[in-house]
Amino acid sequence: MRSPKLPIAFIAALVLGAAGTLRAETADVHVRVEQIIKSDMNQKDKSNRPHSRTLHIFVTNNSLDQLELKVKYIVFGRDMIKHDLITSGEGESPVSVKPRSTEKVETAETKVTATEAHYDAKTKKKTEASGATIAGIGVQVMQGNTLVAEYYDPPSLKEQWGKTISLTAPGAPPAAAPAKK
């Protein structure tokens, strides 16, 4: 008797099909972020730069199951005095994403004002730098305690997640550092 021989194409399809089903669950969730940036530069007051950022976060569920997720975001800033990285705005929002669909999460507007150090010719006094600028954003999508998708702009901010000090109020400078002895 002859042993049955399987065609090579059938074996290749079987192997490739099995490899496709071994993907991780997290590959089923994707995140895309659109940033809405506003800057209100006043021609008469060039030393103050108020600007804001709003995020439109799109969470896509490519699985066949409805997912209950939590979207966390941070708007990172840079302190104008010490140039340290700070948290200008942050928040989280629950989102329920139906199978094979996308949900949009819109964040609250984060506003900051940066004042550069400058010399005022009218008062003949130097004005110190204050406030903060916006340095970038980070978004994490969680399913329970598991991170399923993330986005950082710029990517180097991933290392700073949860390590920055928080800005006390929109547009306010960060808390002063303790004096060195």
Percent of the chain surpassing pLDDT 70: 72
Q: Which CATH superfamily is domain 24-166 in?
A: Immunoglobulins (2.60.40.10)
173 confidence band (pLDDT: 50, 70, 90): very low
Nearest to 79 by CA among 123, 46, 50, 113: 113
- CA-to-CA dists, residue 13 to 9, 16, 20, 24, 77, angstroms: 6, 5, 10, 20, 50
Separation of alpha carbons 18 and 22, rounded Å: 7
pLDDT single digits (tens) 82-113: 778 888 889 999 999 999 999 999 998 888 87
Hey, what are 135's tokens? 């340095």
* All structural domains of the chain with their residue ranges: 24-166
Q: What Rg, from alpha-carbon coordinates, does the chain have?
A: 24
In which element (H, E) is residue 48 found?
Answer: strand 48-61
For the whole prediction, is pTM greater than 0.75?
no
Residues near 97 by beta carbon (within 8 Å), at least 6 away in sequence: 29, 59, 60, 61, 66, 67, 69, 103
Q: What is the mean pLDDT of residues 105-123?
A: 81
- CA-to-CA dists, residue 120 to 46, 47, 48, 117, angstroms: 12, 10, 13, 10
